[in-house]
Each structure stands twice: as structure tokens, then as C-alpha cells.
Amino acid sequence: MKKYLLLLFIIACIGIVIPHKLYATDITVGASTWYSWWDGEFQGDDKIDPAFLYGPALSVKFNDDFNLTFVYLYGKYDIKGIARDSGDPYKAKLKRKDCDLALNYRLNDIFKVFGGIKYLGASAAAMGFDWYGWGPGLGLSATFPVAENLFLLGTLSGFHLWTKEDGDGGDDRGKGYGINTTLSLAYYIAPASTTLSLGGRYQYLDSGYDNSSDDGPPKQKFYGVTLTATYTFSI
């Protein structure tokens, strides 16, 4: 099922590209950062320090109606706590990956709908913890003009994940879900073909393990400040 889902998404993207391959294509490349707080529990009375996630951002505009977007974020959180099984204090670095590949369709001058593939991953070698999940996502985005070259941007999306955790206690597989929302102000610098945006992002994740502990499936919240800079050119 998961392989078929990815294959259908690739075919849909190819179907958009081929009819317009003779026309100019707008490419947008840049970088994105997210200073993120992680509200969740792992092994006991944990304390997770906020951290920067950072990575590339890419958009390919095929025509006035369709564009493909890709964003990848990576960062490391410092985590301290008391292990539930032994009662001993511990420290660890927890790596997190957050990736989105989406095909966007323009409904009108304000709204777009988008659908694609979501990947999330988290691992900490010192804790014997390695988790990842991926699956389909669907959402709505909006762009509101505020002033000349200044825009208010917002997105709201939901996603479903097939998840797997490799830990000291064995492997857990499940089906998770989550929501993601962003709100930011973007300013377009016309002479430089560059856009700067500053705002906030909130993400909720229910990992939904099939073989969860008595405490229930881990539920996580992520929130913080985002900053993105991109440059647009045509080929």
C-alpha cells in the first residue's frame, strides 16, 4: 500500500510536468529554520531544551495552477531526565528529521490545496531509541496581500503515518496521525528576486504504536519560530 501511494504521487507529478516541459519553469531555492520547543515524554521526568531545525526549501512552479514543494528540516535536541526503569539520571542528544514533499493546486488568488508525502524521524543512540514514520498528507494554504510586496501566509494540514520504533524493548509498529499549522509574514524583495518570511509553526503528533505501553501512545507537540529565505529564477 505504501509503495503504491508513493508511485501514484510520482506519476501525478510527472503528469503535470510533461505537458509543460516546453515552457519556462520558475524555480525557488533557499533555506528554512525552525527554533522549536518539543513538549513530550520519553522515559520519565524528561526535560527537552529547544533547538534549531534547519534545512533546504525548494519549489518548482510548472504553470499558474501547479507547483511542487519540498522542505527538509534537521536538528538535535538536548534531553535530560530520570529513566523510568532504573531511576538513574541521563542525558542524551535526540536527532529529529521533518520532511514534506507536496503537489500544490491553485484554487484562486488566495487559496491552494496540497497533497503529498510526510516523513518524520527521531533517534537517540544513548537511549536506544530510533523511530520513524511516513505517509500521506493533505492541507490548505492561503496568501493574503497586506501591503506592496508584503503578504500574510498560512497553512493547515493533516497527515497519516505508518510508524516503526526500534528500541531496547523490541520493535513497535503502528499508525499515527498529526496536524501541522503555520502563520507568517513574507516580504518579497523584487530587485533581488528574494522572499523573506518570519512566523510561527505548531505541530501535533500522535505516534499511535500498536504495542504501546501502559502510559498510552506517546503524544508530542512542537512549536516555535520559523525564518525562511528563498531566491526565485526561471529556466
What's the grid cell of residue 98? Answer: 521533518
Nearest to 46 by CA among 75, 84, 74: 84
CA angle 48, 39, 166 (to 5 degrees): 75
What size, in residues, is the chain? Answer: 235
Q: Which domain holds residue 20?
A: 2-234
CA angle 141, 25, 18 (to 5 degrees): 95
Residue 21 DSSP symbol: T
Q: CA of 233: how far to CAs of 29, 192, 194, in Å?
A: 9, 10, 9
Question: In the structure, what pLDDT confidence band is assigned to residue 229 with cuts at 50, 70 and 90?
Answer: very high
Task: Tell me: pLDDT of 206 over 80.
Answer: yes
Q: Is 28 helix (H, G, I), strand (E, B) or coil?
A: strand
- Say what the pTM is: 0.87
Task: Tell me: pLDDT of 35 over 70.
Answer: yes
Residue with cell 497533497: 115
Domain holding 53: CATH number? Answer: 2.40.128.100
The number of domains in the chain is 1
4 burial via Cβ count (<10 Å: 0-12, 13-18, 19+): exposed
Question: In the structure, what pLDDT confidence band is assigned to residue 211 with cuts at 50, 70 and 90?
Answer: very low
Q: CA of 35: how far to CAs of 38, 60, 191, in Å?
A: 10, 26, 29
Q: What pLDDT is recorded for position 3? A: 52
Q: What pLDDT is recorded for position 207? A: 77
pLDDT in tens, 68-105: 999 999 999 998 877 666 777 878 898 999 999 999 99
pLDDT in tens, 106-164: 999 999 999 999 999 999 887 777 889 999 999 999 999 999 999 999 999 999 999 88
Task: Tell me: pLDDT of 10 over 60.
Answer: no
Rounded mean pLDDT, 11-31: 68
Task: Tell me: pLDDT of 52 over 90.
Answer: yes
pLDDT in tens, 158-203: 999 998 887 655 577 888 899 999 999 999 999 999 999 999 999 9
Q: What pLDDT is recorded for position 17? A: 54
More confident residue, 23 or 171: 171
Task: Tell me: pLDDT of 216 over 50.
Answer: no
Average pLDDT value over all residues in the chain: 85
d(CA 73, CA 39): 18
Nearest to 196 by CA among 235, 232, 144: 232
Chain centroid to Cα 112, Å, comes to: 18
Q: What are the beta bridge partners of residue 118?
A: 100, 135
Residue with cell 505516534: 207
What's the grid cell of residue 32? Answer: 528554512
Q: What pLDDT is recorded for position 139? A: 98
